């Protein structure tokens, strides 16, 4: 019998569970007692220097999370991506939450396959193994074979809809009840955050929805030679089964394993982060669960950008065009250290109320984000920013809009993944040049408006320092010069002579007039900046690099 799942509804699901007190009360008590015992054990043993004690404690933590079920495993997976938050010996154990969980009974998996696909596995496939090759929070994966081609067959865990429905309701109940006593100040009801989590989980257990997500994601990256999306096998997919082509790669879990396979960790970090930025700032559609179990390093690529495969498209989300453009503006304002405008961005995104006096936030924001391009860039990562913002939120009325819950999860998980491969990784070293290049090469109306804000002030005068800052970010090292110089020069020239460039040409002419007189000082500075950046020597370097990269 095939199942049909309802969408998440906080109110309806709460009523459903309250009407079943024989389920609700014992489960709440079990969860509370489990966490009390876990807290006490961590309190007494967490600081022990005995390796055996820590090893046993990490295994206990893993067993507690797996025993509590899929909802808690999802939360544990988020922790497993953060080497800066979790002890290394615990992290090793928590990494197993990604795809090395206890498997459910193989006979049940075979029964689900027959129910969903209408025939036994041994009739559908030429070869079907007797055990899964990986087991995750919501399902387990088998490596099957048909027509000399290997396939990944993911079978959903039994009774999953009931388990998630029950535990999301209880998490919301406990979160709402306990939030006044917890050391949190996120400015919005924790129930709203759990609602977003619940909606995402309910979509994730619908494998037909995941199949649609995989197809959409593949279309978005079809022109990117460094990103690979497995092919969906529709005839072997259903509500509780999803089958794709098999990915023969190395999980982005351990730097040493990558190096053993002659793969360069840094190249995959760059591909991973750039593809994540593309999802947020170009596509407006992103993978919300980018942990190491869902990403594979593939052969090929080069030392700069490695080939990367995404799998598991159950937890996806979108970002509105308005939010996407405001986030780009916010990063530009951080680059230019324009903290009042940054406060306006936060207000527009919903992190601040419309009544908030933004001028009062200029100094606090400068304290949190100031110097991110200079001396402090070596220490700048999301963990540092999060720590500082946590303190800031107690003094100022910041709130976290619930629609940003999965965005924050995705970005933080991705940075955590990068930190596993390179503890010295700094996300801004990739994010800032990406935004700078987008501003200088994307000729869409929205991005052009943002670029004009950078180049010209409100009076129409050229802001030489900001233009120089933008170019410095993109071309501050020879590697970027070699790869980006010609595309930026081409895009700039095309823009200047196009219809869209009329606003740029007009502003440039107006900038020459000061006090009703022609003033060429700023124009000369701009020409000197362009001449130095796009010098023949730099063009030669770029051409050579492009030739080398195509060989």
Distance CA 244, CA 233 (A): 5
Q: What are the DSSP calls for 424-450, one per residue?
A: T--THHHHHHHHHHHHHH---HHHHHH
Model confidence at 451, in pLDDT bands (50, 70, 90)? confident
**211 contact partners, CB below 8 Å, separation of at least 6:** 232, 234, 237, 242
Of residues 251 and 460, more confidently modeled: 251
Note the helical H segments in 371-520.
382-395, 405-421, 428-441, 445-455, 464-475, 478-497, 502-511
Across the range 6-31, mean pLDDT stands at 90
Mean pLDDT of the chain: 79
Distance CA 280, CA 284 (A): 5
Structure tokens at 102: 């206890």
pLDDT of residue 137: 83
Are residues 234 and 242 in contact, defined by beta-carbon separation less than 8 angstroms? no
Are residues 460 and 506 in contact, defined by beta-carbon separation less than 8 angstroms? no
pLDDT in tens, 81-110: 655 556 766 777 777 776 678 889 999 999
The residue from 99, 195, 289, 323 that is catalytic is 289
Distance CA 322, CA 326 (A): 6
Torsion, CA 52, CA 53, CA 54, CA 57, rounded to 10: 120
Q: Which three-class secondary structure string do you get for 136-162?
A: CCCEEEEEEEECCEEEEEEEECCCHHH
In this predicted structure, the answer to whether residue 523 has a pLDDT above a threshold of 70 is no
pLDDT of residue 305: 84
Distance CA 130, CA 121 (A): 11
In this predicted structure, the answer to whether residue 116 has a pLDDT above a threshold of 60 is yes
Distance CA 279, CA 266 (A): 20
Are residues 221 and 277 in contact, defined by beta-carbon separation less than 8 angstroms? no
Identify the H or E element spanning 540: helix 536-550
Give the position of tokens 């939450």: 97
- If phi over 0 gives left and psi between -120 and 50 gives alpha, with beta otherwise, what is residue 3? beta
Model confidence at 503, in pLDDT bands (50, 70, 90)? low
Across the range 25-40, mean pLDDT stands at 92
Q: Percent of the chain beyond pLDDT 90?
A: 27
Of residues 460 and 166, more confidently modeled: 166
Model confidence at 243, in pLDDT bands (50, 70, 90)? very high
Structure tokens at 413: 């998980």
In this predicted structure, the answer to whether residue 1 has a pLDDT above a threshold of 50 is no
In this predicted structure, the answer to whether residue 170 has a pLDDT above a threshold of 70 is yes
In this predicted structure, the answer to whether residue 377 has a pLDDT above a threshold of 50 is no
Model confidence at 140, in pLDDT bands (50, 70, 90)? very high
**440 contact partners, CB below 8 Å, separation of at least 6:** 451, 470, 474, 488, 491, 492
pLDDT of residue 85: 57
Please give the radius of gyration of the chain, using alpha carbons only, rounded to the nearest integer: 26
pLDDT in tens, 405-444: 778 778 877 877 887 788 777 777 777 778 877 877 777 7
Is 99 an active-site residue? no
Q: What are the DSSP calls for 212-270, one per residue?
A: HHHHHHHHHTTT-TTEE-PPB-GGG--SSEEEEEPP--EETT-HHHHHHTT--HHHHHH
In this predicted structure, the answer to whether residue 378 has a pLDDT above a threshold of 50 is no
Full-model pTM: 0.78
Structure tokens at 550: 């195509």
Of residues 319 and 191, more confidently modeled: 319
pLDDT of residue 80: 66
* 431 φ/ψ angles, rounded to the nearest 5 degrees: -65, -45
- Cβ neighbours, 10 Å, residue 326: 19
Across the range 451-470, mean pLDDT stands at 71
Distance CA 282, CA 438 (A): 9
Top mean-pLDDT range of 241-250, 450-459, 485-494? 241-250
Identify the H or E element spanning 139: strand 139-146
Model confidence at 118, in pLDDT bands (50, 70, 90)? very high
């Amino acid at each position: 019998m095939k199942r049909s799942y309802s969408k998440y509804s906080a109110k309806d699901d709460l009523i459903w569970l309250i009407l079943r007190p024989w389920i609700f009360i014992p489960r709440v008590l079990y969860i509370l007692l489990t966490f009390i015992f876990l807290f006490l054990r961590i309190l007494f043993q967490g600081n022990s220097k005995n390796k055996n004690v820590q090893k046993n404690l990490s295994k206990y933590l893993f067993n507690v999370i797996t025993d509590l079920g899929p909802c808690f495993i999802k939360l544990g997976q988020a922790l497993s991506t953060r080497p800066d938050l979790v002890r290394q010996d615990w992290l090793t154990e928590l990494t197993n939450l990604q795809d090395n969980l206890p498997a459910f009974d193989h006979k049940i998996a075979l029964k689900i396959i027959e129910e969903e696909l209408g025939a036994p596995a041994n009739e559908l496939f030429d070869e079907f193994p007797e055990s899964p090759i990986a087991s995750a929070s919501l399902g387990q994966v088998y490596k099957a074979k048909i027509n000399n081609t290997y396939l990944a067959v993911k079978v959903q865990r039994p009774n999953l809809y009931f388990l998630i429905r029950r535990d999301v309701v209880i998490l919301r109940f406990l979160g709402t009840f306990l939030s006044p006593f917890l050391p949190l100040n996120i400015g919005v009801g924790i129930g709203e955050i759990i609602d977003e989590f619940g909606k995402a989980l309910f979509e994730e257990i619908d494998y037909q929805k995941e199949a649609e997500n995989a197809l959409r994601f593949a279309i978005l990256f079809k022109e990117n030679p460094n990103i690979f999306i497995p092919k969906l096998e529709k005839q072997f997919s259903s509500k509780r089964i999803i089958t794709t082509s098999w990915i023969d790669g190395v999980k982005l879990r351990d730097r040493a394993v990558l190096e053993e396979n002659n793969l360069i960790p840094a190249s995959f970090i760059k591909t991973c982060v750039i593809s994540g930025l593309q999802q947020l700032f170009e596509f407006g559609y992103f993978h919300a669960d980018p942990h190491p179990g869902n990403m594979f390093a593939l052969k090929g690529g080069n030392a700069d950008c490695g080939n990367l495969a995404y799998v598991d498209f159950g937890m996806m989300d979108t970002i509105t065009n308005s939010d996407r453009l405001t986030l780009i503006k916010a990063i530009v304002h951080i680059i230019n250290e324009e903290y009042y405008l940054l406060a306006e961005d936060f207000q527009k995104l919903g992190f601040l109320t419309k009544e908030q006096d933004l001028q009062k936030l200029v100094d606090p924001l400068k304290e949190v984000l100031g110097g991110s391009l200079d001396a402090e860039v070596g220490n700048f990562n999301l963990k540092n920013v999060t720590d500082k913002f946590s303190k800031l939120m107690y003094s100022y009325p910041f709130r976290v809009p619930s629609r940003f819950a999965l965005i924050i999860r995705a970005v933080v998980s991705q940075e955590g993944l990068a930190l596993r491969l390179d503890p010295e990784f700094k996300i801004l070293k990739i994010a800032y040049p990406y935004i700078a290049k987008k501003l200088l090469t994307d000729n869409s109306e929205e991005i052009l408006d943002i670029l004009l804000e950078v180049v010209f002030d409100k009076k129409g005068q050229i802001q030489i320092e900001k233009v120089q800052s933008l170019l410095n970010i993109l071309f501050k090292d020879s590697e970027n010069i070699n790869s980006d110089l010609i595309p930026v020069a081409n895009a700039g020239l095309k823009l200047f002579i196009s219809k869209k460039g009329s606003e740029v040409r007009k502003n440039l002419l107006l900038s020459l007039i000061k006090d009703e007189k022609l003033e060429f000082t700023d124009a000369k500075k701009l020409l000197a900046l362009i001449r130095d950046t796009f010098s023949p020597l730099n063009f030669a370097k770029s051409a050579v690099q492009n030739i080398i990269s195509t060989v």
